[in-house]
Amino acid sequence: MTDQRERVREAYDDLAETHFAERSGEPAEASLLDEVRARISAGARVLDAGCGQGTPVASGLTPTHDVVGLDFSAKQLGLASDVVPRAELVQGDMTDLGFGADAFDAVCAYHSIIHVPVPDHAAVIEEFARVLRPGGVLLLSSGGTDWAGSNPDWLDSGVEMAWSFPGPEETCEMIVEAGFDLQDWWIVTDRLGHEGEGEVLDPDGEDAYEDGEPVGKPFFLAERR
């Protein structure tokens, strides 16, 4: 595991309770799970990649689907075991998923690939394609601009957190090159960086940009060819 990924894992262990409190409630991006529900049947198997504390993906889909939550933070998985006791929880690395090919009907990756070093993003998306059956659904969030850096006091926790992501165009290219057909995408404001609960914006709308840059994180919906 690279230094950055190890630092992120340790950071999520250290600030697990703080992050849990900040992420409680229903974020705007939870509504995008309806796009997944509409494309898979009840009881279908879903991978929540980078599940964290189990919200909003595992908690939103577990009542009607067979959810596997994967995260590399043991502390986050401990919280998830209380939030989604019915989900199967696995500690692991998104760049090398320990599942067979065609194992899932959908993969959701909320706010997780953004912590992986950019050179590894293509490998992560290729792993998502490998474990998805043909016709399977991917719902992935990434970064709104090409950026890498860290916050030494994220969420006022005293813990440093690191991020790394390309712009939306490059992420789209990776998704297509990995064997997906892009279905739709949105820009979602993050309530950790904005007032209120956040909102889902049309990427073609003027309110989705400020000074030419997206005001939030893009979420991409794709189908494996």
Strands 132-141 and 217-224 come out as antiparallel
Q: How high is the pLDDT of residue 192?
A: 57
Q: How high is the pLDDT of residue 153?
A: 97
Other Cβ atoms less than 10 A from the Cβ of 22: the count is: 15
Cis peptide before 56 (omega within 30 of 0): yes
Q: Which residue has the higher pLDDT, 55 or 24?
A: 55
- Beta strand spans in the chain (E): 45-49, 66-71, 88-91, 104-109, 132-141, 147-151, 161-165, 180-188, 200-201, 209-210, 213-214, 217-224
Report how far apart, in Å, the C-alpha atoms of 3 and of each of 99, 111, 117, 142, 204 are: 24, 19, 10, 20, 37
Contact between 29 and 112 (Cβ < 8 Å): no
Cβ neighbours of residue 11 closer than 8 Å, sequence gap 6 or more: 154, 159, 160, 161, 162
Structure token pair of residue 12: 């999520």
**pTM for this structure?**
0.95
| pLDDT reading at 69 higher than 60 | yes
- Annotation: CATH topology of 3-224: Rossmann fold (3.40.50)
Helices of type H across the chain: 3-14, 16-22, 33-37, 57-61, 74-83, 121-131, 168-177
Gap between the terminal Cα atoms of the chain: 30
d(CA 89, CA 168): 30
Q: How high is the pLDDT of residue 167?
A: 96
Give per-residue pLDDT as tens, 118-175: 999 999 999 999 999 999 999 999 999 999 999 999 999 999 999 999 999 999 999 9
- Percentage of residues of the chain with pLDDT beyond 70: 96
| pLDDT reading at 202 higher than 60 | yes
So where are the chain's domains?
Answer: 3-224
